[in-house]
Structure 1
Amino acid sequence: MHDYKWLNEYCLNRFGSAKALEAHLPDARTPQQLRAISDDRYLSTMALRVFRAGLKHSLVDAKWPAFEQVFFGFDPEKVVLMGADHLERLMQDARIIRHLGKLKSVPRNAQFILDVAHEHGSFGAFIADWPISDITGLWQYLAKHGSQMGGMSAPRFLRMVGKDTFIASNDMVAALNAQNIIDKVPTSKRDQAIVQDVFNQWQAESGRPLCQLSAMLAYTVNH
C-alpha cells in the first residue's frame, strides 16, 4: 500500500495547493462536542439515517419536521413507550414516510440508546469515548445492538453526528482496490480490520482525522 506522503502529494497535485485541498476536507466533532449532543438528537439522527437508506435524502429531509412531531421530539423515554397500535396509527399519517419496518426501528433504537445511556451516562459519552483506532468495532456494535443499522448505515450515522470515521464509498473502495487492499465494500469483520489497519497507519503518519483521510483517498479516483 502507498504511504501517507503519496496520498498527500496526489491530492495536492489534484487541487493545486494545500489551502484548496483543506477546503474540500470534512471535519469531525471533538469528544466534548459529541458528549454535548443530547440523546434525543442521537435518536433523531439514527432514525433519519434509517429512513434515508434506499430513499432520496431530500424527500426524507423535507418530511423530517413531521417525524419530529409524531415521535415526540425523539425523546427516548417517550418513544420507547410507543406500542404496535401507535405505530399502526402512524401508518395512516400521510405527513411521514409510511414504512412499517422502519417505523418499528425507532422505539427499538430508543431502547438501545436508553440501555447505553444507563451504562455510560449518556449515549454521547459512549460515542465520544470509543477509540477511532477501532472505529469499525463501533460500526459492528451499532449494527448488532441497533435496529436497521447494518451495512453502511452505522458509519454514515456516525458521520452525520460528527464522530470521526472513514466511509466505504464507491470511490474509496475503488481506491483501496487499486492498491490491492480490498476488492469490495468491507462488510466482513476481516475486511473491516484490514481497512482499519490501513487508516490507522495513515493516521499515525499524518495526524489527520479518519474522515479527512477517507475523503483524500476518494479523491485519488479519476472520473
Structure 2
Amino acid sequence: MGPQNGDDGVARCPWSGGPGVMRDYHDREWGRPVSGESAYLERLTLEAFQSGLSWSTILNKREAFRELFHGFDAEAIAAFGDDDVARLMQDSRIVRNRMKIDATLVNARATVALREQQGLEAFVLSFAPADPPAWHDTAEMATTSAESVALSKALKKRGFAFVGPTTMYALMEAIGIFDPHLVGCFRRGLS
C-alpha cells in the first residue's frame, strides 16, 4: 500500500491514520534527526518497550516514561536500584515489563560507559546506510537491514540489552538515520 490521502487531503504513509497521536508522530517526529545522548537513549528505550505492543501505546505513555526515567538522563537511570525497579513495576502509567525495565537500567549504564569512546549518538550514527532505501509502498519495506544487524551486534558487544536487529531498524527509522517515509508521502525528503 502506498501513501494515502488523509481527511485533510495530505498524502502520508498509510500507518499514520487519521487525526491523533499516530498522525502527529508521523508528521512532526518520525524520521527526523534527533541530537544528544538523552534523545538517543529515549528512542532506544521506547523502541525496546514497544516490542510486542502497538506504537500508539508507547506514545500515549511517553510523558510518564520521561518523568519516571528522569528525562532519559543516563547517569540518573544508571543509579537506579531495586527500590526504583519495584516503584516502576507498580506504576501503571508505563509498560510494566520487568525485562524491559531491567534492560533500560543496563542500557543506561552501557551508555555511560560508551562515553569513554565516541558516545551513544556518534556510535549509532556510524551505522547509517550508505544507500538509504526509497520505498514506494509498504510491501517493499524492510524490518531489518545489514546495518541494523551490525548495530545490534555492536551494541550487545558493549553491554546493551533488548537491542535486536528489528528494534534497531525501528530506531534508525525513528531518529532519521535514513528517510523512512514512502515516496509520495508529504514528509519524504523533509528530514
Does the TM-score normalized on the shorter chain lie above 0.5? yes
Q: State the one-letter code of the partner of 1:138.
A: L
Q: State the one-letter code of the partner of 2:174.
A: M
Q: Displacement of 1:127 after TM fit?
A: 2.3
Alpha-carbon distance change, 130 to 94 in structure 1, aligned in 2, over 3 angstroms: closer
Aligned length: 143
Identity across the alignment (%): 25
Query: What residue is the counterpart of 1:62 in the other structure?
Result: 60
Secondary structure, aligned partner of 1:114: helix
State which of 89, 92, 116 in structure 1 corresponds to 2:90. Answer: 92
Q: Displacement of 1:71 after TM fit?
A: 0.7
Alpha-carbon distance change, 64 to 83 in structure 1, aligned in 2, over 3 angstroms: same
The C-alpha deviation readout for 1:137-158, integer Å capped at 9, x for no partner, is 2232234442111141111112
Q: Displacement of 1:43 after TM fit?
A: 0.9
Q: Tell whether the 8 Å contact from 2:128 to 2:177 is kept in structure 1 after alignment.
A: no
Q: Measure, in 1, the Cα distance between the counterparts of 2:53 and 2:64.
A: 17
Secondary structure, aligned partner of 1:137: helix
The C-alpha deviation readout for 1:88-119, integer Å capped at 9, x for no partner, is 12111122211111111111111122222221
Q: State the one-letter code of the partner of 1:140.
A: K
Query: What residue is the counterpart of 1:160 in the other structure?
Result: 174
Query: What residue is the counterpart of 2:43 in the other structure?
Result: 45
Equivalence map 1:121-136=2 (5 Å): 122-130=119-127, 132-133=129-130, 135=147, 136=149
Q: Tell whether the 8 Å contact from 1:77 to 1:110 is kept in structure 2 after alignment.
A: yes
Q: What is the alpha-carbon root mean square deviation over aligned residues?
A: 2.8
Alpha-carbon distance change, 130 to 97 in structure 1, aligned in 2, over 3 angstroms: closer
TM-score by length of 2: 0.64
Q: Tell whether the 8 Å contact from 1:142 to 1:154 is kept in structure 2 after alignment.
A: no
Alpha-carbon distance change, 28 to 57 in structure 1, aligned in 2, over 3 angstroms: closer
Secondary structure, aligned partner of 1:95: coil
Q: Displacement of 1:42 after TM fit?
A: 0.9
Equivalence map 1:70-149=2 (5 Å): 70-120=68-118, 122-130=119-127, 132-133=129-130, 135=147, 136-144=149-157, 145-149=159-163
Unaligned 5+ runs, structure 2: 4-11, 14-25, 131-145, 184-191
Alpha-carbon distance change, 45 to 92 in structure 1, aligned in 2, over 3 angstroms: same
Unaligned 5+ runs, structure 1: 1-13, 16-22, 165-208, 217-223
Structure 1 or 2: more helix by fraction? 1
Which of 1 and 2 has higher RCO (CA within 8 Å, sep 6+)?
2
Q: Measure, in 1, the Cα distance between the counterparts of 2:38 and 2:128.
A: 23
Quick check: which has more Rg, 1 or 2? 1
